[in-house]
Amino acid sequence: MIKSKSLAQLDRRIIRCTACPRLVKWREKIAREKTARFADENYWGKPLPGFGDPKARLLIVGLAPAAHGGNRTGRMFTGDRSGDWLFRALHKAGFANRPTSENREDGLKLIDCYITATLRCAPPANKPLPLEIENCRQHLRAEFALLKNVCAILALGRIGFDSALWLCRQFHLHNFERKPKFFHGAEYALSNDRLLLASFHPSQQNTFTGRLTETMFDAVFRRAKRFIGK
């Protein structure tokens, strides 16, 4: 079990992680071979720590960095289409100071919000193996232990939702008789006046097909905002 005295210390541990050989090989291959439109950029090519406001009341749990998004830029949801949707919604709801996230030096700041993910490395075909998810959850647990003010958890996608449920069990935040179902807009009351929310992931598969619309996505963030009294 990872224990860290600060988020900065934990971030350094995450960045050095080599627990999953398949993911290490893949992320480094992508960073080395790149893609044509980013051929001139230096890829991050390492695990990604979470980022945001250390005093955040809203915690967002996603899936994993994108191969040419976070794995390139070194910041969660930065430099890909999913991030375009996420930061636009965060800005509308007052959780970000700007609606776009392009690189680590673009001036973006999260307000009362912290973003993390189930996996810290980009998985091939966006499909992590069960053991890789298990390996990486130690980082999620360590982050949550340091984020003392979280009262709302927003899970993006089914894998993010399962990780959020696992996290809640680890900290004894619920005792559901049956496993809560994942669906867009789902809400589940947790102990200590906390709330678990769920949304479809803003992946291109969901947004291009209309399964997730901007109106649907914005509504989840408005609900989170109301709950924490922002």
Q: Is the per-residue pLDDT at 1 higher than 70?
A: no
> How much of the chain exceeds pLDDT 90, in percent?
94
> How much of the chain exceeds pLDDT 70, in percent?
98
Q: Is the per-residue pLDDT at 230 higher than 80?
A: no
171-219 pLDDT per residue, tens: 999 888 889 999 999 999 999 899 999 999 999 999 999 999 999 999 9
Averaged confidence pLDDT in the chain: 96
Q: Is 219 contained in some domain?
A: yes
Average pLDDT over residues 7-15: 96
pLDDT of the residue at 175: 80
Domain that holds residue 117: 7-228
Q: Is 16 contained in some domain?
A: yes
Whole-structure pTM value: 0.96
Q: Is 37 contained in some domain?
A: yes
Q: Is 1 contained in some domain?
A: no
Domain count for the chain, please give it. Answer: 1
Give me 146's structure tokens.
């340091």
117-129 pLDDT per residue, tens: 999 999 999 899 9
Q: Is the per-residue pLDDT at 3 higher than 70?
A: no
Q: Is 2 contained in some domain?
A: no
Confidence of residue 81 (pLDDT cuts 50, 70, 90): very high
| CATH code of the domain in which 104 resides | 3.40.470.10
As a whole number of Å, the end-to-end CA separation of the chain is 34
Q: Is the per-residue pLDDT at 38 higher than 80?
A: yes
Confidence of residue 4 (pLDDT cuts 50, 70, 90): confident
pLDDT of the residue at 10: 97
What DSSP assignment string belongs to the chain? ----SSHHHHHHHHHT----HHHHHHHHHHHHH--GGGTTS----S----EE-TT-SEEEEES---TTTHHHHSSTT-SSHHHHHHHHHHHHTTSBSSS---STTS---BSSEEEEES-SSPPGGG---HHHHHHHHHHHHHHHHH-TT--EEEEEHHHHHHHHHHHHHHTT----SSPPPP-TT-EEEETTTEEEEEE----HHHHHHTSS-HHHHHHHHHHHHHHHT-
141-170 pLDDT per residue, tens: 999 999 999 999 999 999 999 999 999 999
